[in-house]
Structure 1
Amino acid sequence: MDPLTFADPQDNDLTLREAQNQVHRWIQTVGVRYFNELTNLAILTEEVGELARILARRYGEQSEKPSDAGRDLGDEMADVLWVLLALANQTGVDLTSALEANVAKKTHRDQDRHKNNPKLQP
């Protein structure tokens, strides 16, 4: 597979593990090397801020600025995911395993909590 191609064109289902591998190949091929972890944390914070600004203005009470009106929400989310995948790679985190464990933890911990929350009842 071409290191700059995300997935088999016949298969549109990209796994987290494949995404981590793709980001790693891209960084080695195009990006030369990883930025250090603290730099990537700062970049992640910046990208989350951009996403938050668009969400707050598009779905919140602030009016949307003309400069943000054409921003693609999916692209902004992908920017956040990209940097998170890079950070996972450079810190040795397998996001597939981490997400599976996290869902299991939340399921066990919150099994009845939300069902029994009167604030969430219709």
Structure 2
Amino acid sequence: MEKSLAEMQKEVDRYISQFKEGYFSPLSMLARMTEEVGELAREVNHNFGEKPKKSTEEENSIELELGDILFITICFANSLGIDLTEAHDKVMHKFNTRDADRWTKKDTE
């Protein structure tokens, strides 16, 4: 089942709302996001770089690390009252205007 960003934000909020602690502070979430990006970097390096995994390291995947980053991004946005669909639309507008001629477009025949 396909979910919209708004649905994902609501789902994460329902999950977090069941705990007294609620959302972490913005600084703690930034630290957590940084940790997750580091874990993604490690997986990418294991899969595409020159650093193979040790036999003692846990199996993990780029997919799971991206999922963790998406979760913390949604938590961050929710805690600050940011609508991620609106944020996405603003970013796409920026790319479609400011960067409209930055890259070589594919031929559309």
Alignment TM class, shorter chain as reference: 0.7 to 0.9
Deviation beyond 3 Å, 4+ runs, structure 1: none
Residue type matched to 1:86 in 2?
A: C
Match of 2:62 among 70, 73, 78: 73
Structure 2 residue 104 is the aligned partner of structure 1 residue 115: yes
Deviation at 1:77, TM superposition (A): 0.8
Aligned length: 104
Residue type matched to 2:53 in 1?
A: E
Write the distance in 1 (CA, Å) between the matches of 2:91 and 2:20.
Answer: 31
Cα displacement string for residues 29-80 of structure 1 (whole angstroms, at most 9, x for unaligned residues): 1574111111111111101100111102211232233315x21221111111
The share of aligned pairs that are identical, in percent, is 37
Match of 1:48 in 2: 37
- Relative to the length of structure 1, the TM-score reads 0.77
Write the distance in 1 (CA, Å) between the matches of 2:81 and 2:15.
Answer: 17
Write the distance in 2 (CA, Å) between the matches of 1:20 and 1:74.
Answer: 19
Tell me how large the CA RMSD over aligned residues is.
1.6
Match of 2:11 among 19, 22, 32: 22
Structure 2 residue 92 is the aligned partner of structure 1 residue 94: no
Match of 1:85 in 2: 74
Residue type matched to 1:43 in 2?
A: R
Residue type matched to 1:26 in 2?
A: Y
Of structures 1 and 2, the one with the larger relative CO (CA 8 A, separation 6+) is 2
- Relative to the length of structure 2, the TM-score reads 0.86
Structure 1, gaps ≥5 residues long: 1-11, 117-122
Cα displacement string for residues 86-117 of structure 1 (whole angstroms, at most 9, x for unaligned residues): 0000111110011011011111111111118x
